[in-house]
Amino acid sequence: MKFAIPTHNKKLCLHFGHCEVFTFIEADEETKTIKGKEEIAPPPHEPGILPPWAAKQGATVIIAGGMGMRAQQLFAEQGIEVIVGADESDPEKLVLDYLNGTLKTGVNTCDH
């Protein structure tokens, strides 16, 4: 499984559309370990462009602080599970928490 995490200064960026890079983390669900990590600069932010781009990178899950409903729908159409309300944290910790069933999420920080 491959995670896409919008990051800024090596931490989760609370709004995915305003991140400087996406950290893609490949993980093994069975062993709950991280197999690889890569940071990739996204294309310029335009409505609807990030979901197919993330899918092309192989993402199956996106963890974000906030994301609008339309973006969530577009990610779902690409077969990408959307997790919103995550705290600003290290991408690796977020993934390991997800794999271990301990990822804490709160309010979607996007208000549009």
Structure tokens at 87: 């705290």
Residues 1, 29: contact at Cβ < 8 Å?
yes
Whether residue 109 is predicted with pLDDT greater than 80 in this model: the reply is: no
Q: Is the model more confident about 109 or about 96?
A: 96
Task: Indicate the pTM of the whole model.
Answer: 0.93
User: Using one digit for the tens of pLDDT, what is the confidence trace for 66-93?
Assistant: 888 999 999 999 999 999 999 999 999 9
In the chain, beta strands by DSSP E: 2-8, 11-12, 21-28, 33-40, 61-63, 81-83
Give exposure, 2-18, as e/b (b: 16+ Cβ within 10 Å): bbbbbbeeebbbbbbbe
Question: Which domains, from first to last, does the chain contain?
Answer: 2-99 (3.30.420.130)
